Structure 1
Amino acid sequence: MNLQPLLPYLPSAEVLPLLDKWLKDEAFELAVNKPRTTKLGDFRPPRKGARAKITLNRNLGKYQFLTTLVHEIAHLKVWNAYGRKAAPHGIEWKTLFGKMLIEMVENCAFPAEYRTALMNHATKPKSAVGGDLQLQKVVLQLDSNKEVLLLDDLKIGTTFNFKGRHFKKLEKRRTRALVEEVRSKKQYTIPLVAQVDTVQ
């Protein structure tokens, strides 16, 4: 498979040989699609008469794209090795994805904070990159070249803006926060990894 078309989406060309190594024996389609709000990428097992497929959103930052791509490649490899016998984010996937992240850190000269976040993530991979607050924050900062404020960073009672609306953080839950829209007093939950702006 020619991976050169992926170069504009990746932080560095030095990751291409590793991607090539992981993918050289795999039969699948790769598509870079228009942005979706519910997912960064996905893996679809083969269907009758069609090959397996990995899709990624084209609006992702380069580090987010790479991290998501490796996540989906791990799904492809686990599917091809175990089929339906392995759970989508089961032990086989966690083990392989963790090994792939470590191999990437060992073979590519990434920024120190990304390397550290990947190594930490490799020990306990999450089903979504956004489930790891440290990794998500590092990825967002590297992709935007500026400090990023996540909902998780705010104290209870802090007001903030998110998607053009004004909220107050009420309570922290496992992966989300209970918030109240200031104007309507309606309550919602928002992922802790959501990028927010503080109210001035």
Structure 2
Amino acid sequence: MRKKHEAPLDTLNSYLPVGAYHTVMQYLGHYKVHLTITKERRSVLGDYRFAVHGKNHRISVNGNLNAFAFLITLLHELAHLIAFEKYGNRIASHGKEWKLVYGEILQQFLLLDLFPPDIANEIKTTMRSPAAGSCAEDGLIRVLRKYDRKGDVKKLVEEIDVNGLFRTDDGRIFKRGDQLRKRIRCLEIKTGKIYLFSPVYEVTPVSHP
């Protein structure tokens, strides 16, 4: 079961890179955002819900992300809010309006000089054509993982040796196969079915089925 708690605004700073708090708070205050931090969530890093019936906009972000990934995910969701406020809620979720707003927000935070050079360079690449998922660009994911807490046993599928075994969060065991163009061919051990994985999908290495 997913566990959420409302983020006390005076402790939000601990989830953010140094220097980001003031500008983030300006956004949250101006748009009256109800922010929650989720500890356990597998399918998404963040989520946005449009304000209805007089209630606040609602954004949730996974609290287990490193500070840079947390901020980028939060900005991704804020871009949804601002795009809907500016252009209406009938626009495409990740259409040109959202990409424009997201790019503008990323540019603002780049000017604050919050990010290490490798992340900043990947963000500049992202700004040219943002992807749909939070932190969905492969290059950005690879760079952000360098700043995760040490000791995490998870790896990216591309880091698993060919013919090596890994387990997904739902407990299924796969054998890694060859790299295709943008996906990696993998065999599910139990069913013998073939699945195509993103190279940057996080999994847990295992030694035997």
Measured after TM superposition, the shift of residue 94 of structure 1 is 0.4
2:69 and 2:135 in contact (8 A); partners too: no
Give 3-state SS (helix, strand or coil) of 1:98's partner. Answer: helix
CA contact (8 A) 1:166 1:182 kept: yes
Would you tell me which structure has more helix in proportion to its own residues? 1
- How far residue 199 of structure 1 moved from its aligned partner, in angstroms, is 7.5
Q: Is the 8 A contact 1:150 1:195 kept in 2?
A: yes
User: Structure 2 vs 1, CA of residues 44 and 58 (structure 1 numbering), >3 Å: closer, same or farther?
Assistant: same
1:143-197 Cα shifts (integer Å, max 9, x gaps): 2358985324568x453424473512245354x4331135653322333211356
Alignment size in residue pairs: 196
Question: For residues 41 and 100 of structure 1, what CA distance do their matches in structure 2 show?
Answer: 16
Alignment counterpart, residue 196 of structure 2, candidates 174, 180, 189: 189
Q: Which residue of 2 aligns with 1:80?
A: 85
Amino acid in structure 1 at the alignment position of 2:145: L
Whether 1:42 and 2:50 are equivalent positions in the alignment is no
- Deviates most, 182-191 or 137-146: 182-191
The partner residue of 2:176 within 151, 164, 168 is 168
Counterpart CA distance in 2 for 1:75 and 1:154 is 35
Cα distance in 1 for partners of 2:131, 2:164 equals 29
More off after superposition, 68-77 vs 164-173: 164-173
Q: Distance in 2 between matches of 1:173 and 1:181?
A: 20
Q: Which residue of 2 aligns with 1:132?
A: 137
Deviation at 1:46, TM superposition (A): 1.5
Amino acid at match of 2:35: L
Q: Distance in 2 between matches of 1:182 and 1:87?
A: 38
Query: What is the TM-score with the length of structure 1 in the denominator?
Result: 0.82
Q: CA deviation at 1:72?
A: 0.6
State whether residues 31 and 57 of structure 2, in contact with CA within 8 Å, keep that contact through their aligned partners in structure 1.
no
Mapped contact 1:86–1:92 kept (Cα < 8 A)? yes
TM-score calculated relative to the size of structure 2: 0.79
SS in structure 2 at match of 1:95: helix
Unaligned stretches of 5+ in structure 1? none
Aligned 8 A contact 1:168 1:181 in 2? no
- Equivalent residue number for residue 116 of structure 2: 111
1:109 CA drift (Å): 3.4
Deviation per CA, 1:25-82: give whole Å up to 9, x if none. Answer: 2123111123111111100112224222101122222222111001011111111112
Structure 2 unaligned regions, length at least 5: 1-7
Q: How does 1:13-162 map to 2 (within 5 A)?
A: 14-145=19-150, 150-152=156-158, 157-162=162-167
Distance (whole Å) between structure 1 residues aligned to residue 22 and residue 149 of structure 2: 26
Q: What is the root-mean-square deviation of aligned Cα atoms in Å?
A: 2.8
Q: Deviation of residue 140 (structure 1)?
A: 1.2
Deviation of 1:17 after TM superposition, in Å, equals 2.1
Q: After TM superposition, give the deviation of residue 8 of structure 1 in Å.
A: 1.8
| Identity fraction in percent | 27
SS in 2 for 1:80: helix
